[in-house]
Amino acid sequence: MRNQENSVFSGIWDPVVPAEIPGRRVMVQRKMLSGLFSQLADKSSGFEKSKKQRIAQFLDAVFVCMALGIANLLRLSAVDLSQLWPVFLLLPFVTVLLFQRMGVYNMVIRFSGMDELAPLMKGVVMSSILLLVVQHLVAPDPNPRSIFIIYGLVLVFFCAGARHLWKWLASDAKNVAGEPIAIYGAGALGRQVMQICRSGLDYRPVVWLDDDKKMHGRVLSKAKVFDPKDPATPDALKRLGIETILMAIPSVSSGHMKQLLESLRNFDCRVQTLPSIDDIMANRVTTRDAKTLPLEELIGRQQVAPDMDLMCKNVTGKVVMVTGAGGSVGSELCRQILPLKPTALILFDVSEAALYQIESDLKLLCKQSGSIPVHCILGNVIFKDEIKHTVGTYAVQTLFHAAAYKHVPMVESNPQPAIRTNIFGSLSAVEAAIEHQVENFLLISTDKAVRPTNVMGATKRVAEMVVQAKAALGNGATQFSIVRFGNVIGSSGSVVPKFSEQIESGGPVTVTHEHIVRYFMSIPEAAQLVIQASSLCKGGDVFLLDMGQPVQIADLAKSLVYLHGKTLKDEDNPKGEIEILYTGLREGEKLYEELLIDETAQATAHPKISRAKEGFIEWPELNQVLQQFEAAMKANPDDEMVEQLRSVVIGYKPNRFARPKVVPICDKTTVPELVD
């Protein structure tokens, strides 16, 4: 990012003006001139309301006298105080009372608009009528009627003009120290964003960017409209010291937004978005909450509004339990479930810190959704007695099983805990559901379970088969289903926060392979689809979520570099700021992921959810396999357990490398970041 040590925004007067930015000197002079008034505005903002009102009343009284004198001079070329002195004494006092009655002095001038002028205009009209009546009573000869019209016009000019001048100067002084920004989109939403930014201290909009050719070159709200496609526009923004572009384009598809972001790459600016206007106006967030555009916009993913009938079917009015409730997906499931008004929500997790965090989040939601019992249970799914006791005690009706070890490199180095949790933990949850006649059980799986190359994917596929085998027995009231999907944005271990941290720390950004691709969806969308999939269950179903188009991780890293306002360092630009290093595939990692084993899937009632019928091992045989796993875990040979996984899971091709004795965690240029 450009050096800001000599920025004009550090003080009222900055004598150092870099020659390479000619527009900077004008900005310095503007800041110096507005500095004194800024101090005056700050002092006046601390006045009590009554003191401000007395000052306004005194000035209005002066304006009445001035308007009366000017009207007489313009119409009669003289002011006869011998006859008009009662009017000069009475009219200001009564006019101020009229303004008070009309609520003129209750207005906040800095935020007033055309609507606030109506009470002032009514007061002026009544003051003119009063002048007409008083002069007819006091003066022996009636004055021309035009004098009252002139008086009213002059009084409006003084009173309204003074208020508008104060508003303009106060707003200008308040925003001169804000960060200069450009707003993309000069429509209705853009003007709302402009007004909100100028009412705060954080941003000072000075430029519009808009694709409408009719707007180019025009000035709107004191800001010039530039063509974002004009090659000269990036240099113009640089001369004005603009380093942030706020997007203000409503109803834009993710695909179109992705194209817009691509077109802004050469601007050397951060591209950010504000929260919704409703949230800002309701004071839930402010312009300080401007943030980098969500990754959904960057990858061009279109979301479908949830089907509320499907959302409510297995949740509303039921006791719902979520295992792994403190995890990325589990916690979002809880946030989505609570507003659907279950009878009770049971949170089950082994991590005390994670459970405490989601409980705190849900307490805030309870204030909006009403009082719904939320029970936090510290427990581990590998202990059958713990999960069976919890399910039975609370009479759980719907169970979402999200507890699992999922970080590919970590699990690859620790296969035993993964087998114990992912396989036997799932078995414990399934048996608890059968024993206590849970109505609906859903296992959250992963695309890495399809022809896996790692222990994590293989253990999740065995967990799927456990659910399928138990469902095939048909000896209980529980409807079993599985939901399989890819990466979720922002989950623990996701590339997005890791890349952002690396960019903010100056790079480099580490990517495992130049051609590696992944599917992405947001955590809220994934949770909504999981809940809806549970309502489509017919027994033993494997549901697949539509993950959209795969995203090349290298391109994602480059886009994040540009969104943070940095330049990419590569062969074409050796002086860039952020470099991308390719570290090589890790243990158990493959270039692409799949969702189907046999490439057959059927559509469901939801456009983003499909159903697959995939083969599995019958329970008697699978039970023997699980007993072999237990024996292998007691003997503690990792290689034997991996070999057993290979013999059970179709398509599993272990890709295990020799584990290093020492992991150079301090050398960020050699350690690959998590992609899963």
Give the count of domains, the chain: 3
- Reported as type and span, the H/E element at residue 509 is strand 509-511
Tell whether 457 is covered by a domain: yes
Same domain, 140 and 255: no
- Looking at the structure, tell me whether residues 277 and 137 fall in a common domain: no
Same structural domain for residues 93 and 182? no
* Phi-psi category of residue 521: left, alpha or beta, with phi > 0 → left and psi -120 to 50 → alpha: beta
Contact between 595 and 415 (Cβ < 8 Å): no
Instruction: Looking at the structure, tell me whether residues 582 and 497 fall in a common domain.
Output: yes
- Helix (H/G/I), strand (E/B), else coil: 240: coil
Predicted pLDDT of residue 493: 58
Q: What CATH number is given to the structural domain containing 524?
A: 3.40.50.720
227: which 2 tokens? 């063509």
Alpha helices in 77-116 (DSSP H): 81-101
**83 belongs to a structural domain:** yes
d(CA 261, CA 276): 19
Inter-axis angle of helices 146-175 and 188-198, nearest 10? 80
Residues 74, 144 within the same domain: yes
* Residue 398: burial class (beta carbons within 10 Å; 0-12, 13-18, 19+): buried
Please indicate, yes or no, whether residues 90 and 119 belong to a single structural domain of this protein.
yes
Question: Are residues 87 and 231 located together in one domain of the fold?
Answer: no
480 and 360, same domain (yes or no)? yes
Coil, strand or helix at 325: coil
pLDDT of residue 260: 76
Query: Residue 226: which residues within 8 A CB-CB, separation 6 or more?
Result: 182, 207, 208, 209, 210, 216, 233, 236, 237
C-beta separation of 526 from 485 below 8 A:
yes
Taken in order 462, 467, 471, 476, is the CA torsion positive or negative?
positive
Q: Is residue 397 in a domain? A: yes
Residues of the chain with pLDDT under 50: 1-38, 40, 42, 46, 280-287, 289, 657-676
Write the DSSP assignment of 602-639 as a string of letters: EE-SSTTEEEE------HHHHHHHHHHHHHHHHH--HH
* Paired tokens of 608: 């983003």
Residue 665's pLDDT is what? 37
Q: Is there a domain that residue 342 lies in? A: no
Domain enclosing residue 281, as ranges = 178-293
Q: Are residues 457 and 587 in the same domain?
A: yes
What's the rounded Cα separation, in Å, for the pair 192 and 199?
A: 11
> 504 and 636 share a domain?
yes
Q: Of 172, 187, 205, at which residue does a domain stop?
A: 172
287 vs 120, 146, 176, 227, 403, CA distance in Å? 32, 50, 16, 25, 37
**Taken in order 441, 444, 445, 447, is the CA torsion positive or negative?**
positive
Q: Angle formed by the axes of helices 638-648 and 619-635, to 10°? A: 170
668 part of a folded domain:
no
- What pLDDT sits at residue 228? 86
Residues 516 and 625 reside in one and the same domain: yes
Q: What pLDDT sits at residue 253?
A: 58
Does pTM top 0.75 for this prediction? Answer: no
State whether 191 and 111 are in the same domain.
no
Read off the tokens for 247. Answer: 């997007």
Of 126, 141, 172, which residue constitutes the final position of a domain? 172
Residue 509 lies in a domain: yes
Is 333 strand, coil or helix?
helix
- Both tokens assigned to 563: 């969104």
Of 149, 172, 195, at which residue does a domain stop? 172
Q: What are phi and psi of 157, to 5 degrees?
A: -60, -45
Cβ(548)–Cβ(521) under 8 Å? yes
Using the Cα atoms of residue 521, residue 524, residue 527 and residue 528 in order, give the sign of their dihedral: negative
What pLDDT does 594 receive?
60
Closest among 423, 454, 421, 418 to 589, alpha carbons compared: 454
What's 650's DSSP letter? T
At residue 21, the pLDDT reads 38
